[in-house]
Structure 1
């Protein structure tokens, strides 16, 4: 494609090689797009894969026609084919799907790690005494105690005392500023 972009068409790969490489992409690497597009159409909807499939198959079919069947296929000694366009569309969309999947996986891993930060047991005031209980038995209205150096088990309002809370695991800041909590929502 670089040759075409800079006006040096002699740099372009021969049309028959473009056909071979584009055929590999269209008939093998693009199969997941075709399957997804077909399932989407059967479901009565059209997703991005339908657009990618229609566009790339149209480009590929036009280029095959121009290469092998068109009586007017040559203009100034060149065959006007666009195999590289279909390959680039499939390549860019595949790259986008890969990056999206990787981002989803990383965010799910991050959520799992964040959930591991939650303490499993907390100190709850029940009947004027502090009792250690599992976190899943805490209900709205319970008064919890967070001692120095402990993780804060739940959102709430500070009833008494004050301290510092590291909120970097919530904000995502790499250089967190610790925030003073006391007599306010944290």
Structure 2
């Protein structure tokens, strides 16, 4: 971490990376009375990337979702993190919350630098997330989730020649 060289890309099990970030944010989710559910695809192929950078993206998306849900009743706070393998040979990661959604805002605008809805926010988090996903050859986008909430998704290409890694994840679990 103290080298001046850029971090190298490595084989990343995105499901394991997600589990680590969910564990890291578990206290915040409990404090906010948010129910967190993971639906992680079994036998998901590995991706090539910078694990820590991808975890930074996940951390930002999860914390933003938890904070957004503070505006709804405790009984309605639900966060879903899911993965799947797309037909385009990418891994798709979905973060869906049951917060107020984007309202009249254009979901694409949330990725603009310095755009924030938080009184103390800098507006850099989602812009940085987009840069990280772009650097991984992927795509990041947002949309409304009916009847309420936000849906943020990103894709990252699978590692060339990657075989599917068996997942220890059983069907959906909740924290």
Structure showing greater Rg: 1
TM-score, normalised to structure 2, is: 0.21
More strand by percentage: 2
TM-score, normalised to structure 1, is: 0.20
